[in-house]
């Protein structure tokens, strides 16, 4: 990045005039839906030069969005036996040396040196911390399912940052399942159901990518070829049983194991990678994680990584553009706004507002002395689902 930059020129070509026209329409529509513009206009998030680029600040409305989405994911997980855990945001470098992340990601870490000279890092992912929660005691009853929505930090370069889509601080709705190899398929299927129930709520079409390691570059991956073959075989069996709409992604695996990535098509027909389920047969080895089996013997376990939204910031960048900021009623930060035509109606306005709040709705009142026409226009621009004119 210290070299003199070339000028990069992109070109697109089309076989027919119709395809060109459709593309130009999509480009114009994408501009109207740009989350970098809509987010601040709808008062969902902001950036500050004093805080730093790539570090979004969430307003009250944006925080309602995040919390409502996270509560939805948690409701799906809780029904399937997950337990919430919490972890610190920093760690000694030793944790990432053991996990293998230090060698792989050391240039992308925010590093901290303490007054006593100890080296710490801001966590770029949560799985190594979760291994230590599992390792606190000896287990005979598995699976153990841990869920944790928490912020991770990566030292992205300034030129790589883009609105909410690429940030330096991203919250992940992360979960890790510690189970026996014989239980892995059943646990994958539970997560598969969570993914499809969640994305169906927004009208996303999903297809699955079976993300495999590239045998031509063994240096990029942890573990033996035999372990990779076993893990990839399980995932191939799952995806072929569950759907016909899948494809292979050679070289798209995580460095510790293969994964199923879900690709969502938005309202403009663009495809995004969203949820992911990963089968990890390497980290349990590196941290010496095991359970006691029926014979009283130590049995090596496997670890499943599962993120439904993945980065909440990135998911919201996709969702804002998919919906053009007009969120489903259950998700809208303000569900109802009351627009009185004058200031002599306050008693009745408050009565209606309180009844709606008691019913569990998110309500605002526009008490300004503006014309009713202006109030309606501004409420529509804020994409509030219900406008009550009194």
Indicate if 305 belongs to the active site: yes
Indicate if 214 belongs to the active site: no
Q: Which residues pair with 250 in a beta bridge?
A: 212
Other residues' Cβ atoms within 10 Å of the Cβ of residue 254: 20
Of 123, 144, 145, 172, the catalytic one is 172
Indicate if 84 belongs to the active site: no
Of 145, 259, 314, 375, the catalytic one is 259
Indicate if 314 belongs to the active site: no
Q: Choose among 173, 143, 176, 139: nearest CA to 304.
A: 176
Q: What is the 3-state secondary structure (H, E, C) of the chain?
A: CCCCCCCCCCCCCCCCHHHHHHHHHHHHHHHHHCHHHHHHHCCCEECCCCCCCCCCEECHHHHHHHHHHHHHHHHHHHCCCCEECCCCCEEEHHHHHHHCHHHHHHHHCCEEECCCCCEEEECCCCHHHHHHHHCCCCCCCCCEEEEEEEEEECCCCHHHCECCCECCEEEEEEEEEEECHHHHHHHHHHHHHHHHHHHHCCCCEEEEEEEECCCCCHHHCCCCHHHHHHHHHHHHHHHHHHCCCEEEEECCCECCECEEEEEEECCCCCEEEEEEEEEECCHHHHCCCEEECCCCCEEECEEEEEEEEEEHHHHHHHHHHHHCCCCCCCCCCCCEEEECCCCCCHHHHHHHHHHHHHCCCCEEECCCCCCHHHHHHHHHHCCCCEEEEC
Of 33, 77, 176, 190, the catalytic one is 176
Indicate if 366 belongs to the active site: no
Indicate if 259 belongs to the active site: yes
Indicate if 278 belongs to the active site: no
Of 33, 35, 127, 173, the catalytic one is 127
Of 77, 145, 305, 375, the catalytic one is 305
Tokens of 317: 């960048």
Catalytic residues: 127, 154, 172, 174, 176, 259, 305
């Amino acid at each position: 990045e210290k070299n003199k930059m070339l000028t990069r020129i992109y070109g697109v070509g089309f076989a027919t005039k119709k395809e060109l026209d459709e593309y130009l329409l999509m480009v114009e529509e994408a501009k109207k839906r740009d989350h970098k513009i809509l987010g601040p206009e709808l008062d969902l998030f902001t950036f500050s030069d004093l805080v730093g680029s790539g570090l979004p600040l969430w307003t009250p409305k944006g925080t309602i969005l995040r919390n409502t989405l996270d509560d939805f994911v948690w409701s799906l997980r809780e029904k399937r036996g997950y337990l919430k855990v919490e972890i610190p945001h920093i760690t000694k470098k030793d944790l990432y040396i053991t996990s293998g992340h230090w060698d792989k990601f050391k240039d992308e870490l925010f590093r901290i040196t303490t007054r006593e000279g100890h080296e710490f890092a801001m966590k770029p992912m949560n799985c190594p911390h979760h291994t230590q929660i599992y390792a606190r005691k000896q287990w005979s009853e598995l699976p153990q399912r841990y869920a944790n929505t928490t912020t991770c930090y990566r030292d992205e370069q300034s030129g790589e940052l883009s609105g909410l889509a690429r940030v330096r601080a991203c919250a992940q709705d992360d979960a890790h399942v510690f189970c026996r190899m014989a239980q892995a398929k059943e646990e994958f299927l539970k997560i598969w159901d969570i993914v499809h129930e969640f994305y169906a709520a927004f009208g996303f079409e999903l297809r699955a990518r079976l993300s495999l390691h590239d045998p031509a570059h063994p240096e990029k991956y942890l573990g033996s070829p035999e372990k990779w073959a076993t893990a990839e075989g399980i995932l191939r069996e799952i995806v072929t049983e569950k759907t016909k709409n899948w494809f292979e992604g050679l070289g798209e695996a995580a460095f510790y194991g293969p994964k199923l990535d879900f690709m969502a098509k938005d309202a403009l027909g663009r495809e995004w990678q969203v949820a992911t389920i990963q089968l990890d047969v390497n980290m349990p080895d590196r941290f010496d994680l095991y359970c006691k089996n029926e014979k009283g013997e130590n049995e090596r376990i496997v670890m499943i990584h599962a993120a439904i939204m993945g980065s909440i910031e990135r998911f919201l960048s996709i969702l804002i553009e998919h919906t053009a900021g007009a969120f489903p009623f259950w998700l809208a930060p303000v569900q109802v706004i009351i627009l009185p035509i004058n200031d002599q109606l306050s008693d009745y306005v408050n009565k209606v507002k309180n009844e709606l709040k008691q019913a569990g709705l998110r309500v605002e009142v526009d008490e300004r002395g503006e014309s009713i026409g202006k109030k309606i226009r501004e409420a529509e621009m804020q994409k509030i689902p219900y406008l009550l004119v009194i």
